[in-house]
């Protein structure tokens, strides 16, 4: 799966910038590298499978992260 770099909104409301998709050096698992667009702007990684999964929680059913644009 190919993801567009840019702004994404987490299903809980916060915004993040997807920087790149990288490969875990040990497992070869694709990982998303992203930055919080709030607070201290921390840099994070998350497995691609988690980034793209569908969430069902508290009445919400949809993507964990939704693309908002560049």
> Kind and range of the H or E element at 50?
helix 48-51
C-beta of residue 6 within 8 angstroms of C-beta of residue 18: yes
To the nearest whole number, what is the mean pLDDT of the chain?
A: 95
Percent of the chain with pLDDT over 90: 96
**Mean pLDDT, range 5-14, rounded to an integer:** 97
In Å, how far from its chain's centre is CA 25? Answer: 19
The token duo for 30 is: 């694709």
- Going along the chain from its start, the domains and CATH numbers come out as 6-69 (2.30.30.320)
State the greatest distance between any 2 C-alpha atoms of the chain, in Å, as a whole number.
37
**Mean pLDDT, range 41-54, rounded to an integer:** 97
């Amino acid at each position: 799966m190919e993801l567009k770099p840019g702004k994404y909104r987490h299903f809980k409301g916060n915004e993040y910038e997807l920087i790149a998709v990288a490969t875990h050096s040990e497992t070869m698992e694709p990982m998303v590298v992203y930055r919080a667009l709030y607070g201290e702007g921390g840099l994070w990684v998350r497995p691609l499978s988690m980034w793209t999964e569908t969430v069902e929680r508290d009445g919400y059913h949809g993507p964990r992260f939704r693309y908002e644009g560049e």
